[in-house]
Structure 1
Amino acid sequence: MRILSEFDPHPVGIIDPSELLRPEPKFAKKPIGQFRDYTVDENDPIKERVRKTYDLMHTNQTVDFVKEKMDKWLKFDHLRATMKETLIKLNDLVDESDPDVDIPNIVHAFQTAERIRKDYPDDDWFQLTGLIHDAGKVLAFFNEPQWCVVGDTFVVGCEWSDNIVYRNTSFKNNKDGKNPSYNTKYGIYKPNCGIKNLLMSWGHDEYLYRMLVHNKTKLPPQALAMIRFHSFYPWHTAGDYEHLIAPEDEETRQWVLKFNQYDLYTKCTEVPDIKSLWPYYERLIEKYIPGELEW
C-alpha cells in the first residue's frame, strides 16, 4: 500500500444542459452564459484541452473499462492518508475538463464550501460536502489519465444521452456503440431500475462515494448522493435517462441540484484565505470522516 509521500506527479455549437439551471445571479462572478462553454475553438488552448479530454473519455469509457477500474480501485489499497492531506495534494491539480477556471482544484473546493457555509451556516455536513466533493481526483496522482478521473459522467451499457457534451462527435470510436447489448435504449438495464443500479462512467465521483462508504463516513445520505452524482449533468439537469430512473430518485435529484448551484457557479479567480479556513474545516473532517483513510 502506498503512503502519501509516494504520490506520483501527473500533470493534470454544443447545447449544454447546465444552462437549464438558471441560477440566481448571486452565485456567479461572471455572466451565466460564460460558464461551461464547450464551443470548439482550435485557437483557444483551454477549449482545446477540454475538447481533447472529453474525446478521449468518450472513446475509452466502455462497460469493460469501467469494470476494470472498479476492480482496481475499489480494493482501497493504494493510499493511506487523511482527508486534509489528500485535499492539500489537490493544490497540484488543474482539472483538464473544466472550461471555467485554470486554477488548482483545492481553490475550487474552498470556494464551494465557503459559499455553502454562507447560505447554510448551520448545516456543517453540507459545507464539508462542498469542500471534499472533488477529493476523488486524487486518482490523477497515480498515473491515471484525467479523462478517466474528471469531467461529466454518463451511463455506460446503454445508448448515450443526446445531452452529453460533444455527443455528436466524441463517441464515434467507442466500441460499445457497435455492441447490440449496449447500444439500445435500455441496454443492460431494466425499466426504472433506479439510479443506484446504473453503471456510470468511471471517475472521481463514483470513486469518492465508494471510498467514503468503505471508510464508514458519518456524512448523511444526502451528502453521498451529491458526491456520487454531481457530475451527472445529462440526468440531473437535462432530464435524460428517465426510463431508467425510479420514483424515489427525484429526491436525490433535488439534493444534487441544490449542491450544483454552488459547485458550478462559485468558480472564479478569487482565492479564499485557505490557511485561515483550515482549522474550521479540520473540525468538520474530524467529526464526519476522521483519521487516516484507505483510498
Structure 2
Amino acid sequence: MFLILLIAELDNKKAISDGIFVVPGNNAFGNSFRDYNAEAERQKIVRELYRQSHINQTYDFVKKMREEYGKMNKVEMSIWECCELLNEVVDDSDPDLDEPQIEHLLQTAEAIRKDYPNEDWLHLTGLIHGLVEGPSETTSDCLILQQLKGNPDNNNPTYNTKYGVYSEGCGLNNVVMSWGHDDYMYLVAKANKTTLPSAALFIIRYHSFYPLHKSGAYSHLMNEEDHENLKWLQIFSKYDLYSKSNVRIDVEKVKPYYMSLIEKYFPSKLKW
C-alpha cells in the first residue's frame, strides 16, 4: 500500500558496544526497545494511538494535511522557543520514554556530538528531529495488518501494486508519507529555507521510517541522492533510539552551543 505506513522492526538484542556510544539493552521502563507488544499501560496508550492513526490516514487525508499545514500561517517563533514548549510534551507514541520530549532531543544531540564532534549539522538535526512531536507511524507487523483493515485505501487497487502511484527511482521526496510530525518538520525546514544539508532533511523526514533504514524496503523508489543520505540516517538511527534514558541533560549548560547552531542554519524566526 503506497500511502507508506511505517512498520517498526522489533529489536530484542542484548547490549552491544558500537564505536564510542554504547547501546543499552533496555529502555527507561526496563523493557526491550520498541516493544509495542509489552503488556504495560504505556504500551496500551501507544497501541491505541497507532490504531486510530492507521485507520484514519488515507492518501487524500495526507495530501489535505500537507496542503493545510504547508501554508505556514499558524505562528512565528524561533527554533529554541519551540524547544522550550516541549518541556510540557510527553510523546504518547513512544514506548521507551515518558520524559518531556526536549529531554530526548537533547539526549540524542549530545550523544551524536560526543561521537561526531565535527559534524555540527548532525548535532542540530538531533535536536530538531522530533521538534513538533506527535504520533509517528511506527508499529509492529502484526498490529499494522490488523489496523489497516479499517483504512479505506486498503481496498483501492491503485495503491496495491508494487509502484502504486509512483515510478521506479522517482525519489523519496516525491513519495507521500503518512502525515505526522516528521513530515511536518521537514516541510517547516524547507519552507524556512534552512541551510542544513540534504542529509539532515532526509533524517528529519524518515527517521521513524524503520522499513527503509532497518530492512531496506522501498529501495525501488529511491534515487541516487536518497542512497547517499540513507548512510547518514543509519548512523543517526542508533542515537535516536538507544540514547533514550532517564539521565537528565543540563539544558542551560548546552543551550549556548545549540543556539549558535540554530543561528548558523536557520533564520531567527520561523513560520510554522
Q: Using structure 1 for the length normalisation, give the TM-score.
A: 0.82
1:209 alignment partner in structure 2: 186
Please list the CA deviations of residues 228-281 of structure 1 after superposition, one character each: whole Å capped at 9, or x if unmatched. 111111111112223323344221211111111111110011111112111111
2:9 alignment partner in structure 1: 17
Q: Shift of the alpha carbon at 1:35?
A: 0.6
Equivalent residue for 2:37, pick from 36, 39, 42: 39
2:68 alignment partner in structure 1: 72
Please list the CA deviations of residues 170-193 of structure 1 after superposition, one character each: whole Å capped at 9, or x if unmatched. 111000001112223322112332
Gaps of 5+ in 2: 1-6
Q: 8 Å contact 1:205–1:228 — kept in the other structure?
A: yes
The whole-number CA distance in structure 1 between the counterparts of 2:225 and 2:271 is 31
The whole-number CA distance in structure 2 between the counterparts of 1:165 and 1:238 is 16
Q: Secondary structure at the match of 2:219?
A: coil
Which structure 2 residues correspond to residues 128-277 of structure 1 after superposition, within 5 A? 128-137=124-133, 149-152=134-137, 164=141, 166-277=143-254
Is the aligned partner of 1:60 residue 2:56? Answer: yes
The whole-number CA distance in structure 1 between the counterparts of 2:150 and 2:38 is 19
Counterpart code for 2:122: F
Change (3 A) 1:108 1:174: same
Q: Shift of the alpha carbon at 1:216?
A: 1.1
1:144 alignment partner in structure 2: none
Moved more, 168-177 or 15-24: 15-24
The whole-number CA distance in structure 2 between the counterparts of 1:40 and 1:216 is 41
Q: 8 Å contact 1:129–1:223 — kept in the other structure?
A: yes
Change (3 A) 1:65 1:30: same
Q: Secondary structure at the match of 1:27?
A: strand
The whole-number CA distance in structure 2 between the counterparts of 1:241 and 1:226 is 16
- Identity among equivalent pairs (%): 43
Q: Using structure 2 for the length normalisation, give the TM-score.
A: 0.88
Q: 8 Å contact 1:20–1:238 — kept in the other structure?
A: no
Please list the CA deviations of residues 118-144 of structure 1 after superposition, one character each: whole Å capped at 9, or x if unmatched. 01112211111111111132xxxxxxx
Q: 8 Å contact 2:57–2:179 — kept in the other structure?
A: yes
Q: 8 Å contact 1:230–1:256 — kept in the other structure?
A: yes
The whole-number CA distance in structure 2 between the counterparts of 1:47 and 1:178 is 29
The whole-number CA distance in structure 1 between the counterparts of 2:138 and 2:175 is 12
Counterpart code for 2:91: D
Q: 8 Å contact 1:18–1:237 — kept in the other structure?
A: no
Q: 8 Å contact 2:198–2:229 — kept in the other structure?
A: no
Moved more, 32-41 or 80-89: 32-41
